[in-house]
């Protein structure tokens, strides 16, 4: 993890927020490469689970909602962490993260546990005395339930169908830790899938298959992934069943995505508290009912971290150790780098022109500083799958050398065919189970 965190900062993947002021714990900024990596991840998720399906619609809802939403959902009453303090070093911990009854830092005695609501509070209004207290949303799903009626009437969707959303959530984590794995501001990729109660088991099983296929499509090693079934006694108050996809990080197994059967809890709760009927009218069956909700909820930041951990490798090329990020080409921040063999003899001009044409198709990078081998290494370190070398033969026959990041093998490709050659190898493909 130390090597990965160092590389992320040095190469512009991820920085701690507000570093020049000493940083702020649990908040992170995605740099030039990190923002491209996470954007590619989110676009692949959206393509797979929304654009390539005919039973999904999308939503982008407000982060701040009416405070009564969180009363109805149970967050005001139920969304608590149990905290303990060390009486010696004064550090604070979540009780469920402790493996012993003593302080993990100094071995001191711990205080009696107490509840702490982890929602982040804010105020809306033009003056302090009239401002209304509300919360930054701790999850994205509640806006989907609140907008359920409007979405049904405006799109004329039919059960079964899903509503997908990618967006920021906020939790006042007691102990943010393990880089971006547990932070106070994070991004979720979430779906609420509505089905009839008699179809919930079949629907749940299908989502398990599709979720597993999607993680494998990211290039994650299957032996690093597993399912964890939550025992009934530890289920959330709304859940009939919950399973998690976990990844084996360097610091241990951690959740990437939860798949929950929420039953009819949310729609009935919001109907009760708002006074608005959120049941679904099935015109074909001429009946009204509350659909069961199957919820696949993935962490964009956590999945990005898993991708980075899985991609990091060290190997030897020509008796030299190199760091290489074996990112799947569809996720790589830079798809191809264009590198003139030397800056002189007109090669740089050809390379610059070629890079400008290719950037219309995919993300590119131009570099002429240093020996060609060193430039290849720099591109390996940030996960660029293909390096294109413009050399003297290019001026003779219009071909360039394309170097593969993982194998270091090189092939010559005509410049006129180069865009299609690389695009074919980095494009997004649907991965849902048949």
What is the reported pLDDT for 80?
A: 63
What is the reported pLDDT for 428?
A: 62
Using alpha carbons only, what angle is made at residue 338 by residues 332 and 340, rounded to the nearest 5 degrees? 150
What is the reported pLDDT for 305?
A: 98
CA-CA distance, 413 to 420, in Å (whole number)? 11
Asked whether 295 and 235 are in contact (CB, 8 A), the reply is no
Paired tokens of 350: 């050809």
CA-CA distance, 40 to 304, in Å (whole number)? 10
CA-CA distance, 94 to 27, in Å (whole number)? 19
- The structure's pTM equals 0.90
- pLDDT tens-digit profile, the chain (434 residues): 999 999 999 999 999 999 999 999 999 999 999 999 999 999 999 999 999 999 999 999 999 999 999 999 988 887 667 778 888 888 878 777 787 888 888 888 888 887 767 889 999 988 888 888 999 999 999 999 999 999 999 998 999 999 999 999 999 888 788 999 999 999 999 999 999 999 999 999 999 999 999 999 999 999 999 999 999 988 888 899 999 999 999 999 999 999 999 999 999 999 999 999 999 999 888 999 999 999 999 999 999 999 999 999 998 777 778 899 999 999 999 999 999 999 999 999 999 999 999 999 999 999 999 999 999 999 999 999 999 999 999 999 999 999 999 999 999 999 999 999 999 998 765 444 43
Q: Length of the chain, please?
A: 434
Domains 2-72+125-308 and 334-426 share a fold: no
What is the reported pLDDT for 337?
A: 98
Paired tokens of 153: 């009437």
Note the pLDDT tens digit of each residue in 62-103: 999 999 999 999 888 876 677 788 888 888 787 777 878 888
Please give the torsion angle defined by the CA atoms of residues 20, 25, 29 and 34, in that order, rounded to the nearest 10 degrees: 120
CA distances from 40 to 36, 301, 333 (A): 6, 12, 8
What is the reported pLDDT for 126?
A: 86
What is the reported pLDDT for 84?
A: 85
Q: Per CATH, which fold does 334-426 belong to?
A: Rossmann fold (3.40.50)
What is the reported pLDDT for 399?
A: 97
CA distances from 80 to 98, 99, 138, 300 (A): 16, 20, 12, 23
* DSSP bridge pairs for 298: 189, 257
Q: Which of 159, 228, 232 is nearest to 192 (CA)?
A: 159
User: Domain coordinates of the chain in residue numbers?
Assistant: 2-72+125-308, 80-117, 334-426
Across 420-434, b (16+ Cβ under 10 Å) vs e yields eebeeebebeebbee
CA-CA distance, 27 to 46, in Å (whole number)? 25
**Domain spanning 2-72+125-308: which superfamily?**
Bira Bifunctional Protein; Domain 2 (3.30.930.10)
What is the reported pLDDT for 429?
A: 54
Q: Which of 101, 104, 121 is nearest to 112 (CA)?
A: 101
* Count of CA atoms in the C-beta half-sphere (13 A) of 346: 5
What is the reported pLDDT for 53?
A: 95
């Amino acid at each position: 993890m130390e090597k990965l965190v160092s590389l992320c900062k040095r190469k512009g993947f991820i920085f701690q927020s507000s570093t020049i002021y000493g940083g702020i714990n649990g908040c992170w900024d995605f740099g030039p490469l990190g923002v491209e990596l996470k954007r590619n991840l989110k676009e692949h998720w959206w393509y797979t689970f929304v654009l390539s399906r005919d039973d999904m619609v999308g939503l982008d809802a407000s982060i701040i909602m009416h405070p009564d939403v969180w009363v109805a959902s149970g967050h005001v009453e139920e969304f608590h962490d149990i905290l303990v303090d060390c009486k010696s070093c004064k550090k604070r911990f979540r009780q469920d993260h402790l493996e012993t009854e003593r302080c993990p830092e100094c071995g001191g005695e711990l205080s009696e546990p107490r509840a702490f609501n982890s929602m982040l509070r804010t105020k809306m209004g033009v003056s302090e005395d009239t401002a209304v207290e509300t919360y930054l949303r701790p999850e994205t799903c509640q806006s989907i339930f609140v907008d359920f009626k409007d979405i049904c009437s405006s799109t004329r969707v039919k059960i079964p169908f899903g509503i997908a959303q990618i967006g920021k959530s906020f939790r006042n984590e007691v102990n943010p830790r393990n880089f971006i794995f547990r932070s106070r501001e994070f991004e979720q990729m979430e779906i609420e899938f509505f089905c009839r109660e008699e179809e919930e088991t079949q629907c749940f099983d299908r989502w398990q298959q599709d979720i597993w296929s999607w993680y494998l499509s990211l290039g994650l090693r299957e032996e690093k992934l597993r399912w964890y079934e939550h025992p009934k006694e530890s289920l959330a108050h709304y859940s009939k069943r919950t399973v998690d996809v976990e990844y084996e990080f360097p610091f241990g197994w951690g959740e990437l995505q939860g798949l929950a059967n929420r039953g009819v809890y949310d729609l009935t709760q919001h109907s009760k508290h708002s006074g608005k009927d959120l049941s679904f009218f099935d015109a074909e069956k001429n009946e009204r009912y509350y659909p069961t909700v199957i919820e696949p909820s993935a962490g964009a930041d956590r999945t990005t971290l898993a991708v980075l951990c899985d991609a990091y490798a060290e190997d030897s090329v020509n008796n030299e150790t190199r760091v290489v990020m074996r990112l799947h080409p569809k996720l790589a921040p830079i798809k191809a780098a264009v590198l003139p063999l030397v800056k002189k003899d007109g090669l740089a001009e050809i390379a610059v022109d070629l890079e400008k044409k290719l950037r219309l198709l995919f993300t590119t990078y131009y570099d002429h500083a240093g020996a060609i081998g060193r430039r290849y290494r720099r591109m390996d370190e940030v996960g660029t799958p293909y390096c294109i070398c413009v050399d003297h033969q290019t001026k003779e026959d219009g071909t360039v050398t394309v170097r593969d990041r993982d194998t270091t093998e090189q092939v010559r490709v005509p410049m006129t065919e180069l865009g299609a050659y690389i695009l074919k190898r980095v494009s997004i493909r649907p991965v849902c189970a048949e």
